[in-house]
Amino acid sequence: MTQLHDAASLPGSEWWRTAVIYQIYPRSFADANGDGIGDLPGITSRLGSLAELGVDAIWLSPFMVSPQKDAGYDVADYCDVDPLFGTLEDFDRMLAVAHELGIRVIVDLVPNHSSDQHVWFQEALKAGPGSPERARYIFRDGRGENGELPPNNWESVFGGGMWERITEADGTPGQWYLHIFDVSQPDFDWTNPEVREAFRGVLRFWLDRGVDGFRVDVAHGLIKKDGLPDYTPAEDADSMGGDEEDVPYWGQPGVHDVYRDWNQVLAEYPGNRALCAEAWLPTPEKTALWVRPDEMHQAFNFPYAMTDWNAPALRKVITDSLRAFPAVGAPATWVLSNHDVIRHASRLALTADSPQGEGIGPTSAAQPIPELGLRRARAATSVMLGLPGSAYLFQGEELGLPEVVNLPDDARQDPTWFRTHHEKYGRDGCRVPIPWEASAPAYGFNDSGAAWLPQPAEWAQFARDVEEGDPDSTLSLYRSLLRLRREHALGAGDLTWLEGFGDNAIAFRNGDVTVIANVGATPLQLPAGRILVASGPVTEGMLPTDTTVWLAAD
C-alpha cells in the first residue's frame, strides 16, 4: 500500500475535507493508442501535469466494461476495465503512479442502473415474470387491457418514457422495465438484498486495489417511492431533479440505508476512503442529508454550481452551504463544471437560460458570450478556490475551455440528443478531447489526430503548452490559486463576510486571505493590501467588473 494510506490523520483532518479533486473524463483526457478515445495509459502519461497543477486527487468517470451507450455510465461488468480504456493492469499502474505523485484516486460507481448487456439483465430477460432474476431490476406489468400501456407516466431524464416493454422468451409482448436514463440503462431494484450484497462486493473489489474512494453516480435515485405513483415535473425543471421538491424517483428517504451500509464497508479499510454523492437536490440543506456522520463523506454542491453570476445569490448559497454541511460534520464542497453541465466559461455568460442537461448548439436561444464568459469564469473560480472545504475541478477548465457549441449534428453522441429527436443538444459540448500541444495532431490528445468528438479549429490558443508560457493564462491563474490555497490552508479555514463593498460584491476573509469579487457593472475601490493573485488586470486600487482578487492581510 502507498504512503498516502499509511499517513496517520486526526479525526476532523481527513484528506477529503479540504481536497481539490480534479475530474478526469477518460475518453477525452489523453489517448495513448491513437484510436481517438482517451485511455488509462494516456492518463498515466499525463499525471505529471496534474501534480504540477497542484491538485490533491483525481476522480475518473467510468472506465469499466460498457457498451458505451451513455459514455460508460452504462456498466456491463463493474469489476473489469473496458478494452477501450485498457486493462486492469493499466489501472493498477495508473493508480501506483498517481500515488507516487501524491495524488489520490477516486473511481466512479454507477449503482442506480446497469447496462442492458449486464449478465443479470440478460438473465432477467430470459427468466419469466416473478422470477428472482427479474427481481434484481424493476419489472412491472403494463396498464391497459393487454398490458400495452407503461406502468406509470414517468419521463426519462434523457427524454421519452421511463419504461420499455420487453418481448418474453416465448415471443409474446411482455412486462415493462424501468429506466430513469436510456433504454439501455435498466434500474436496479435496491430493495432487493441480492443487489445490495453484489455492490458491497464491487466496493471491496476496488478498495482492495487501493482506490481512495468513490464518486457515486445518481446517489439520489436508487430508491423509488412505493407504488410508483404518476408524476409530472414542472415544464422547465432540471433533468436531474435539482430544482424540484418531491419527486417519486429522486431523494426518497430509503436511499440513506444504502449509504450507511457502504460507510461501514469503507470503514474496514485504512486511509480514510471516501464516498462522494452525485445527488441533485434543490438546497444545500437537503444535499447535506447525504453526508450525515454515518453516510457519505462528501456530496456535490449542485445548488452552488447552478447559481448564476449574481452576488446576492452567491452569498446566500455560500452561507447556506457553510451552515448546512458543517452542521452534520461534513465539509462544504464546491463545483462549477463537470461532464453533465455547460462549461462555466460559457454558462456564466449566456444570452438566455439553458436548464441543466439540455446543452447548447448552433440553433439554441442561449448562446455564450465568449470573452465575458471567460472573464467571469476566472473570477468565479477565484471565489471558489478561496472558500473553505473541498473543491472539484473538471478537466480543461484550468485552460479556460469554453463549451463547444458548433459540433456537427452527426458527431453528437449524448443519448439526450437521440431520445429527444434532436430537440435537446445534450452534454457533448463539454466533453470534447482537451488540448495539450498547440501544433501537435489532435492538439496532443494523441499522435494520430483522431478524436471521438471533433476539436474546434480555434483551440490552439487553449493548449497547455501555450498557456504554460503565459503568466496571464488561465492555467497560470489556476496554478497560483491552488498554490496559495495550500500555503494559506484555505481548505481548512473559516469564512467571515466583509461588509462595506456594496450589494454587488462578494467579500470575505478566510484565515489571512481576503477575497473580493466584483460581480457588478462598475469598478470597486479596493482596500489596502498586497495582491496575492487576481483573476484579471487590476489598476490603481480599482477592482474592475467581473474580477476577483485575493489580498494578503499584512
Cα–Cα distances in angstroms (integers) from residue 411 to residues 356, 414, 432, 435, 443, in the given order: 21, 10, 11, 18, 19
Q: How many of the chain's residues bind Ca ion (CB under 5 A)?
A: 5
Write out the binding residues for ligand GLC, residues 185-224 only, by CB under 6 A.
217-218
340's contact among ligand GLC, Ca ion, none, with CB below 5 to 8 A by partner kind, is: ligand GLC
Give every CB contact of residue 236 below 8 A, 6+ residues apart in sequence.
Answer: 353, 355
Q: 105 or 110: whose CB is closer to ligand GLC?
A: 110
Q: 98-137 mask for ligand GLC (x: CB under 6 A)? A: ------------x---------------------------
Closest approach of Cβ 339 to ligand GLC, in Å?
6
Q: What are phi and psi of 507, to 5 degrees?
A: -135, 120
Closest approach of Cβ 170 to ligand GLC, in Å?
32
Write out the binding residues for ligand GLC, residues 324-363 only, by CB under 6 A.
339-340
In angstroms and rounded to an integer, the radius of gyration of the C-alpha atoms of the chain is 23
Q: 340 or 428: whose CB is closer to ligand GLC?
A: 340
Instruction: Say which amino acid occupies 36.
Output: G
Residue 238 binds ligand GLC, judged by CB under 6 A: no
Q: 82 or 467: whose CB is closer to ligand GLC?
A: 82
Q: 419-458 mask for ligand GLC (x: CB under 6 A)? A: ----------------------------------------
181's contact among Ca ion, ligand GLC, none, with CB below 5 to 8 A by partner kind, is: ligand GLC
Three-class secondary structure assignment of 224-277: CCCCCCCCCCCCCCCCCCCCCCCCCCCCCCCHHHHHHHHHHHHHCCCCCCEEEE
Report the C-alpha gap between 89 and 93 in whole angstroms. 6
Report the C-alpha gap between 94 and 513 in whole angstroms. 36
70's contact among ligand GLC, Ca ion, none, with CB below 5 to 8 A by partner kind, is: ligand GLC
Q: 272 or 395: whose CB is closer to ligand GLC?
A: 395
Closest approach of Cβ 62 to ligand GLC, in Å?
8
Q: Does residue 347 sit in helix, strand or coil?
A: helix
35's contact among Ca ion, ligand GLC, none, with CB below 5 to 8 A by partner kind, is: Ca ion
Instruction: Say which amino acid occupies 187.
Output: D
Tell me whether strands 104-109 and 139-140 are parallel, antiparallel or unpaired. Answer: unpaired
Q: How many CB atoms lie within 10 A of CB 522?
A: 10
Tell me the β-bridge partners of 333.
Answer: 390
Enzyme catalytic residues = 217, 268
Q: Which residues bind ligand GLC (CB under 6 A)?
A: 70, 73, 110, 181, 217-218, 278, 339-340
Residue numbers at the binding site for Ca ion (CB under 5 A): 31, 33, 35, 37, 39
